[in-house]
Amino acid sequence: MYVAVKGGEAAIANAERLLAEKRRGDPAVPELSTAQIEQQLGLAVDRVMTEGSLYDRELAALALKQACGDQLEAVFLLRAFRTTLPRFGASEPIDTARMQVERRISATFKDLPGGQVLGPSFDYTHRLLDFSLLATGGEPPPPAPLGEAEPESMPHVLAMLDREGLIESEIDRRPDAPVPDITRDPMTFPADRAARLQGLARGDEGFLLALGYSVQRGYGRNHPFAGEIRFGAVEVEFVPEELGFAVSLGDVAVTECEMINQFKGSATEPPQFTRGYGLAFGHCERKTMAMALVDRALRARELGEEIDSPAQDEEFVLYHADNVEASGFVQHLKLPHYVDFQAELVLVRGMRRAAEAAAQRARPLAVAAGEE
């Protein structure tokens, strides 16, 4: 019997060919286009853009196609592409108050300026499989009725509370300090909130969801209210050095979540509400809500709260939130470890021999003791 010890170039090349075949599936079924993925699997595209940290719907769709629909693999593909792109500079901060809102809800006020706009949402659908979608080629659904004309501006709910002094003001305490970039500088601890938010924005949705959930279940004791969730297009502006004024680069779709949390107050500060913030590319409400919960939990040190839960521990959260890192390291266990395992085998065998010898030496004594 021959045991294949080591793989080789031929095996790798064949595995890649097999993967290409699997990716295509049954050739009798028409091939999926990236335009179809972009249009009809849009939320998958949004997640890949967010965690891949690159706003490009077409490339995200391509990554999903190449990854056979595996989202984390698609995120990885997009990141590995993104890392090779040159940096022209940083855009101006986007202004979500000027968002062209498609959806905007608040759980804290029944009605508010600009109104509650449900927009496209799964929220109130009954999760019954719609067997009519099994058939393709039918008529597209009739357009949904349009609401009344959008108001010019849709002020943030939290800004209204801020005017009353009920919630902490969100002010940039160091407006001239450079914004950290976690893709260009390794994370240091304690981390700056801007760096933390970057880490959370590209963090794995599942991981943040579980952590956010743990906060709600008492690991971090924070009672949150969904102050506002909005989704829509915002303009991205850039100031080229040679021009000295902002030019518009285009629109990106983002989802924003602002959580309102209680704060008991301290010796120096009266009780007031505090904030947790979430932002992601495309339409990702679950992600931004979880992000906002975890952001608030991670502010425990800054707010003088006791740190005793995983979601409040920034090294724990930020070192483990990135799914490209996590997936790579977990799966590296598939790589050969013959050498380390052999070293352990030698050690364990040696220790077992020593233990056996010790047991043998002890046995006559035990027998002698038993005879007495």
Q: Least Å distance between CB 202 and another protein?
A: 11
Site track for another protein across 70-99, x = CB under 8 A: ------x--xx-xxx-x-------------
Query: CA–CA distance from 229 to each of 55, 110, 211, 284, 300 (Å)?
Result: 20, 14, 19, 10, 23
Choices 25-33, 34-42, 224-232, 336-344 (CB under 8 A): range interacting with another protein = 336-344
Residue 217 CA to residue 127 CA, distance in Å, equals 25
Q: Which of 27, 141, 186, 244 binds another protein (CB under 8 A)?
A: 186
Residue placing its CB nearer to another protein in the complex, 68 or 346? 346
Provide, rounded to whole angstroms, the least separation between the CB of residue 234 and another protein.
26
Report how far residue 365's alpha carbon sits from residue 362's, in angstroms, rounded to the nearest whole number. Answer: 6
Closest to another protein by CB, 28 or 339: 339
Contact segment (CB under 8 A) with another protein among 6-14, 39-47, 153-161, 276-284 equals: 6-14
Give, as ranges, the residues between 188 and 207 that touch another protein (CB under 8 A).
188-190
Between strands 247-261 and 100-105, the pairing is unpaired
13 versus 43: smaller Cβ distance to another protein: 13
Q: Tokens 């629909």: give the residue.
A: 69
* Binding residue for another protein, selected from 20, 35, 43, 343, defined by CB under 8 A: 343
Residue 359: CB minimum distance to another protein, A: 13
- DSSP letter, residue 272: -
Among 97, 350, 356, 359, binds another protein (CB under 8 A): 350
Q: Provide the 8-state DSSP code for 360.
A: H
363, burial (CB in 10 Å: exposed 0-12, middle 13-18, buried 19+): exposed
Q: Which is nearer to another protein, 37 or 75 (CB)?
A: 75
Length of the chain in terms of residues written = 372
Least separation in angstroms between CB 75 and another protein: 10
If 0-12 CB within 10 Å is exposed, 13-18 middle and 19+ buried, where does residue 214 land? middle
* Binding residue (CB under 8 A) for another protein from 58, 88, 329, 366: 329
- Does residue number 361 form part of the binding site for another protein (CB under 8 A)? no
Does 304 contact another protein by CB under 8 A?
no
Q: Which is nearer to another protein, 270 or 350 (CB)?
A: 350
Residue 29 to residue 21: CA distance in whole angstroms: 13
d(CA 372, CA 20): 76
Closest CA to 155 of 89, 104, 204: 104
Both tokens assigned to 5:
């010890």
Does 351 interact with another protein (rule: CB under 8 A)? yes
Q: In whole angstroms, give the CA distance from residue 75 to residue 105.
A: 29
Distance in angstroms (rounded) separating the CA atoms of residues 181 and 87: 12
Of these, 97, 354, 362, 366, which contacts another protein (CB under 8 A)?
A: 354
Alpha-carbon gap, residue 291 to 294, rounded angstroms: 5
Q: Which amino acid is at 305?
A: E
Neighbours of 234 (CB within 10 A): 19
Among the listed residues 10, 56, 50, 13, the one whose alpha carbon sits nearest the alpha carbon of residue 34: 56
Q: Pick from 100, 153, 183, 266 the residue near another protein by CB under 8 A.
A: 183
Task: Determine the interface stretch with another protein among 91-99, 184-192, 226-234, 284-292 (rule: CB under 8 A).
Answer: 184-192
- Range in contact with another protein (rule: CB under 8 A) among 119-127, 139-147, 259-267, 333-341: 333-341
Q: By C-beta, is 68 or 97 nearer to another protein?
A: 68
* Binding interface with another protein (CB under 8 A): 1-13, 76, 79-80, 82-84, 86, 183-190, 315, 319, 324-325, 327-332, 335-340, 342-347, 350-351, 354
